Amino acid sequence: GAVVSQHPSWVICKSGTSVKIECRSLDFQATTMFWYRQFPKQSLMLMATSNEGSKATYEQGVEKDKFLINHASLTLSTLTVTSAHPEDSSFYICSARDPNRGPSEQYFGPGTRLTVT
């Protein structure tokens, strides 16, 4: 299957600081990438849909000024958690859609575990 990477895999930051998470499609160009959040033993919660060259579409209840998404190229999307607080601690996962495969196939990155102290 298609390969999606995320960096970093694990990050600890202090309350009030910002953290940037990168999502890259390694062997395909992704016009659309998705950002999810997952709490322990729960399913994935879609945060936003990121389209290359345009503004991200955020799900209801997700603060777009807090979770900044930039999809600057066909292989890279970034999520910046601004002014992080302990309640932002979670597992953040991105996925990308390969336009050369099935119309709805999404490939996920390995996830980034964020801990805010």
Positions that interact with other proteins (CB under 8 A): 1, 4, 6, 32, 34, 41-44, 46, 49, 91, 93, 95, 97, 102-111, 113
Residue 28 backbone dihedrals phi, psi, to 5 degrees: -160, 165
Q: Position of tokens 């859609």?
A: 97
Of 51 and 82, CB closest to other proteins:
51
Q: Within 13 Å of residue 90, how many CA atoms lie on the same side as its CB?
A: 19
Cα distance between residue 58 and residue 47, in whole Å? 6
Alpha-carbon Rg for the chain in angstroms: 13
| Nearer Cβ to other proteins (82/111) | 111
Which C-beta is closer to other proteins: that of 5 or that of 82?
5
